[in-house]
Structure 1
Amino acid sequence: MYSCKNFNCSNSGFDGWMSSKKQNCELCGHEMISDHEIHLKELEIERQQRNSYYKAVIEEKLGRELRENESIDTWKDIFFR
């Protein structure tokens, strides 16, 4: 299944074989994209969001630990004690 890369376009659902050369949307001229490519992009966005969340949690934990215990030498001390 292929859809227009322009998400404002109503041309979605081209079901068929597409040659290796990318085809353009008949309605707006944007490139067509496969459902598989869309799924991969969605997974990448989810991964980036998860990484941002974990980074924020770790930074918050590090900050709290450093405020509570000023004798910590490095961030490794927090995780390996």
Structure 2
Amino acid sequence: MTQLMVPSSTTIENAAVDTDAVADIVWATPGEDLWVATRTTDEGTAFLGFVERTFEEYVAVDGEGASLGRHGSLQAARAAFRRA
């Protein structure tokens, strides 16, 4: 099951956005040490999950709350979404 985010007029101030062209994943950084993954489909914007930095590791969690693992780098955590 995929969750869809409803379009809103609310924006996240100063959020950095980065697109992973390989997997069509858009990464937003709404806060320090937090990266949110989404993908735009014909049905809207699908929430894929997030990566959170905790101490010296990066925890990846998919859109349904399942762990995609603990990683030593942000790049490795983001790559987990391409494999999921």
TM interval, short-chain normalised: under 0.3
Q: Which has the larger radius of gyration?
A: 1
Structure number with higher helix proportion: 1
Structure number with higher strand proportion: 2
Q: Give the TM-score of the pair, scaled to structure 1.
A: 0.20
Q: Give the TM-score of the pair, scaled to structure 2.
A: 0.20
